[in-house]
Structure 1
Amino acid sequence: MSSSTSTRALVLISLVILIYGCSSVSSMMLFKKHVYVKNHILPDVTMKLHCASRDDDLGVHIIPYGNDWSWTFHPKLFSTLFWCNLEWVMPSTKQLMTVHFDAYDAGHPLEDVNDCDNCVWWAYADGLYHQSRGDKPIKLKHQWVHGN
């Protein structure tokens, strides 16, 4: 094999690796994400969760106390965004409590809510918390808004 041929072959192989490594197919196959939303609000309180992305509506889910709902996806670099609406009724006042939040946003990869493979959202009576990794503490991210 001539020097010119081996140089072309090396360039071609490098180009294929570069294109494959940067493609959304590659990133989708390598970096699977899991999002969990857990109900720890109050005993006997159910919450209603509706999550969606530009491409997928994950539907409405009723989550009893002590349970969770989750989904798995392959993010596309800088473009995957899942947002959610969460609501529940305060037993003592019958007041609707709501929050709208971005459960995962690849457009902000350095924020702790996106620096996770298992992204966990914890709903408590005082707000919505997030845990990016199992060895990290949970952090309050959103306070409830009084609905209608």
Structure 2
Amino acid sequence: MSNIKQFFLAIYISLVLTCQDRVVARSATMRDIIGPKISNWQVMVVNGLATSETLFIHCKSKEDDLGEHNLRLGDRFSWNFGENMLHSTLFWCYLSKDDGHMNVQVFWDDVILFHRCGWKKCVWTAKTDGLYLWNFANGQDLLLEKWEAGW
């Protein structure tokens, strides 16, 4: 076998071996083999509203709709996924409460976000004044988005 064929075979095998699932329940696709996942992440959204309101959330990416969820005070919704090699993984959520709503990105390729998330887990908490990201780097919640009035 020529060196070029061995080289391409080695690349193909390494791509197949590094392939990971999209969201926990899904199996690998051809896109995963071509652009394998390079890191594992978890995103969590927590209802921390002080008024015991129900928090409605609907999260998705380009490929995955994670469904609609109603969270009571203290409830959380989370999912695991692998970021793709092209660094184009993006998740966003629509959140609403009795007197406000927002559309917000909860995961995107950004070294500052990765640092705040401790390079593995982004924890978002909905509070009365907005959506906070837990900053693992300094151990504090950071307000990143305020509620918009109405629905």
| Contact kept in structure 1, 2:90 and 2:108, CA below 8 Å | yes
Q: Distance in 2 between matches of 1:88 and 1:72?
A: 25
2:100 is aligned with 1:105: no
In structure 2, the residue matched to 1:142 is 145
Q: Structure 2: state its 5+ residue gaps.
A: 20-31
Change (3 A) 1:38 1:83: same
| Contact kept in structure 1, 2:53 and 2:72, CA below 8 Å | yes
How big is the alpha-carbon RMSD for the aligned residues of Structure 1 and Structure 2?
A: 3.1
The amino acid of 1:79's aligned partner reads: S
Q: Distance in 2 between matches of 1:51 and 1:138?
A: 21
User: For the pair shown, which has the larger CA radius of gyration, 1 or 2?
Assistant: 1
The amino acid of 2:103's aligned partner reads: H
In structure 2, the residue matched to 1:85 is 94
Note the C-alpha offset of 1:50.
0.3
TM-score for the superposition, normalised by structure 2: 0.72
The share of aligned pairs that are identical, in percent, is: 26
| Contact kept in structure 2, 1:118 and 1:132, CA below 8 Å | no
Q: Structure 1: state its 5+ residue gaps.
A: 1-7, 90-95
Change (3 A) 1:43 1:147: closer
In structure 2, the residue matched to 1:33 is 41
In structure 1, the residue matched to 2:132 is 129
Q: How many residues align?
A: 133
Change (3 A) 1:113 1:46: farther
In structure 2, the residue matched to 1:3 is none
Determine helix, strand or coil for the equivalent of 2:66.
strand
| Contact kept in structure 2, 1:103 and 1:113, CA below 8 Å | no
| Contact kept in structure 1, 2:135 and 2:142, CA below 8 Å | no
| Contact kept in structure 1, 2:114 and 2:120, CA below 8 Å | no
2:75 is aligned with 1:67: yes
